[in-house]
Amino acid sequence: MRIDSTGRTALVTGSTQGIGAAIAAGLARSGARVAINGRTEKSVGEAVERLRAEVPDGEFVPAAADVTTDEGARRVLEIVPGVDILVNNLGIFGSQPALEIDDDEWRRYFEVNVLSAIRLTRLVLPGMVERSWGRVLDIASDSAIVIPAEMIHYGMSKTALLAVSRGFAKEAAGTGVTVNSVLAGPTHTGGVEDFVYSLVDTDLPWDEAQREFMKKYRPQSLLQRLIEPEEIANMVVYLSSAQASATTGAAVRVDGGYIDSIVP
């Protein structure tokens, strides 16, 4: 299978590092023009430099804006109008005892992880429908189904994203536009390294710390290692393509077998 997204414009939120950057690189390799999004001009500029070195033939557009606000969402779409592929990747996570999560923190997780995706989808979906082609991908998590005791506010936000994706898929039914979510499993990123070391001995070398984390906190994983960002990106690139035209309203797993279920 050869995936060719030449002529398509993609926006990947939170794409200056980690999974978002890997998705941006993958989409660029498939031929898409990719908008790189982050909060600051500096972080976006540095990310674009790295991505251009990684994918010399890729076309990357700096799109610095805070998409957790209505003004920021509209600003980024002024920079890249006519988005064909929207990847709602922006998200925050962290551990906190359930009874210590206050109202403001609950709201913050919902606004960043869920409402930012709703807002951007609402803004781009009419144009996609008018053009009879579009792809919306919400990057969810195994935590949407297997709620972690140490971060139920994060799990809640990712569960909400599954409902959002399914609902917008129904809104786009029969139009040629697909909307899906991706259930990403425990993934190796810089932020996750910090998270792992917040839960295990900081004196352990990374390989030992990773194994200890998976054994103690993610024992259900069939992969028995952290997933690399590129492995998540491969699925997103496929779901963003013309070849994935019959997949919509789905929660697609790239979880290393972590979710103990035979469906989806």
Active site residues: 154
CB atoms within 10 A of CB 226: 22
The candidate with the shortest Cα–Cα distance to 222, out of 259, 193, 190, is: 259
Distance in angstroms (rounded) separating the CA atoms of residues 64 and 45: 9
Distance in angstroms (rounded) separating the CA atoms of residues 13 and 9: 13
Q: What is the DSSP letter of 227?
A: B
Let me know: does 179 contact 164? Beta carbons within 8 Å.
no
67 Cβ contact list (under 8 Å, min separation 6) = 13, 37, 73, 76, 90, 116, 119, 120
**In terms of DSSP H, where are the helices of 34-138?**
41-54, 70-79, 103-110, 116-131
The two three-digit tokens of residue 27, written as one number: 């989409």
Distance in angstroms (rounded) separating the CA atoms of residues 34 and 45: 14
